[in-house]
A and B are shown apart, each in its own frame.
Chain A
Amino acid sequence: MKISRLSIKDYHQFKTLDIDLTYPEGHAKAGQPLDKVCFIGQSGTGKTTLLKLLFECTMSKNGQYPPYKLELDHKLFITHNLHGYETLSTMSGHVHKKLNGKLVSADDLGFGEELNQFINSPHPFLLFFPAELKYQNFNLPQIAEGSTRKIYDFSDDDIQLIWNKILNEIQIHQEKVLSINHDITKIVSNGNKDSEALQQSINELKSLTSSEYSPIKQLAEKCLDPVLKKFKLKVNTDLDIKTKDDLGKIKIVDNHGSEIPFESLSTGTKQVFFSALPLYTVKPANAIIFYDEPERSLYPDLQKMIVEYYTSFTKNSQFFFATHSPIIASSFEPWEIVELKFNDEGYVVQELYYPVNEERHVDNYTIIPQYLTYDSMLHRVFDVKAPNNELRNIKITELLTLKAQLEKLKGKNDTHFNDLYNQYEDLAEKLSWDFKS
């Protein structure tokens, strides 16, 4: 199930917001729901609100609803596809089908039972990552329940739920390896070096410690090391059990093999770990995943890779991001960006990236984030009027003046020319030889 449209009416700052979440005409996937969506917009335009509403509307099921949900019923609809029907869901979980342009309750059409069963049954995986993830410790001894859950809201759930599942798998694997090691030692100490049992145990050990079967090696290769290598760190995949406490523990080491305690890792590194691990662990397919401000505490190089990194863990899933970062936003195609803006009346509207009087067609899009520098992203997408320090343009004026003077003096290799030239090069270097505003 993927969301293909979001309509919201008369709710707080939203007067009439109707967002098409499908690929536009001219695209290979024209008409299909977008694989990923990025909400951008000034603080207060409701990015996080929309993310949360989409999440809650998608997971809606019968039961008690807080007042705001009831208030929203029949004000917010999301369009998706259930069993081949283009269907609209409301906050309270009522399902409707659009018939001749009118909303008709699924019950009235006689297929309500089927659709309501769907609504009340476990949904495809839903994961919500708030801007601030909750995590306390890297290693907790107890194993949390939750592996069978299909909805994770990390605004309420501690991300340890997922982390403990991984640690449990690692511990079970380590205990198996230790057990086989013990068997081998026993066989060897009994003097049966050539026995069939010894060979069998060795083979079993080899297989068990291969990347294919080792959860810690898999975790290192597929999830953590691509990020850790940016900090010159990696997961220690060797079986390094000195005490009982080492069981079910993931050790991060530097290039020299020294262990780095989890507490010493940067906030950004922890943030990536804990936001990627649930995806790595659950490996969701047909999921809807929500990330609020994924750029939190991340250095720009990590922001650049984060969208691709997260999406790589999933299959046929739909992602919703809300961000303030031009780096994150530049990972999206123009039709995947939903820019929210206040209009003159103070209501939030979507800024379209194609002329209003033109068809929503890939060829009509005038803003293509992937073509823009981050400077231009700030100008054209984030509407920042003067992203650079005001001193920069003053210095560019100075440089261009020097250039004009040098052009006039070209050929005169005297002290004045040399002084001006040295000033020019010095300033150009400080401006990174990039003189365009």
Chain B
Amino acid sequence: MSETNLPSRQQIEEFLFHEAELIDDWQLNEWAALFDERGEYQVPPTDLPKSEPETSLYLIFDDRHRLAERAKRQLKKTDHSEFPRSIVTHIISNVRVKPGAEDYFVVICNAVVHRSRMQRHDIFPARCEYRIVRDEDRFKIRRKRVILGVETLRNQGKLSIII
């Protein structure tokens, strides 16, 4: 999508804040519905943040079906790593809107996600790279790639929430 058709940063920030609110409020099926039918959710390995998922072993490599199932799983009592549920707080910043390719444009932002549960407090800093398309008067996520701003997951132990 070319420079002239890009949405404003304010429009995009509204969308990102809405997404963050859905995750923080555990409305995860609604979060999954933000993705378009080809939607993907990806987290690269911490030692190779610039790698591609077809060749490198990502932490998360979800197609549309799997990301919806991830959302459903996290809402179950049998998702043991998130029962009882974490308190999740997203802070979104450094938002930029850029031209993309095909029918999508690119959005880049930083996120700091706090997670509190069972006497532990974990922090996940991240740079999020989105491919976003317009679907009538709404935005849809074609791809969300979360590049964690940590060297390893030693402090957090696992990644059991949506970033």
Q: Do A and B bind each other?
A: no
